[in-house]
């Protein structure tokens, strides 16, 4: 019985922990709104253990163009947005990344989503 208890304890200690410090897109986002030259950004973030989320931004660009950056509101629960980005060129493809800055151990760290693609009409 003692070996069984030790085996369970060791298994629990070595089990992978849930990922910490995540930022994700909400389902269906980023969302291009046809014929309006706009898109909506929405997501959620969770800080690392002992981290605090302090600000969020969305970075978006077209191939070969300058990166544009816009602030994204973030609430106490880690909800990002929604925020509208406008002035997008019609029939274009934009690359989009959301970034959140957290403070942990008095140092700022940046969390980012995977690059998403918006196709405008």
pTM: 0.80
What's the length of the chain? Answer: 121
Give percent above pLDDT 70 in the chain.
84
Is the pLDDT assigned to residue 5 strictly greater than 90?
Answer: no
Mean pLDDT of the chain: 87
What are φ and ψ of residue 4, in 5° steps? -65, -45
Greater confidence (90 vs 10) lies with 90
54-79, pLDDT tens digit by residue? 999 999 999 999 999 999 999 999 99
pLDDT at 7: 42
pLDDT at 14: 41
Is the pLDDT assigned to residue 4 strictly greater than 90?
Answer: no
Domains of the chain listed by start with CATH number: 19-119 (2.60.40.10)
- At 53, the pLDDT band (50, 70, 90 cuts) reads very high
**Cα 59 from Cα 96, distance rounded (Å):** 6
**Cα 49 from Cα 58, distance rounded (Å):** 24
């Amino acid at each position: 019985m003692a070996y069984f208890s030790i085996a369970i304890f060791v298994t629990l200690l070595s089990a992978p922990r849930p990922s910490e410090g995540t930022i994700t897109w909400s389902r269906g986002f980023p969302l291009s709104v046809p014929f309006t030259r706009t898109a909506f950004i929405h997501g959620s973030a969770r800080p690392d253990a002992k981290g605090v989320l302090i600000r969020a931004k969305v970075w978006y660009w077209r191939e070969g163009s300058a990166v544009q950056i816009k602030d994204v509101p973030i609430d106490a629960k880690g909800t990002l947005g929604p925020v509208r980005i406008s002035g997008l060129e019609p029939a274009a493809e934009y690359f989009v990344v959301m970034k959140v800055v957290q403070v942990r151990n008095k140092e700022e760290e940046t969390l980012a989503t995977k690059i998403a693609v918006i196709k405008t009409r």
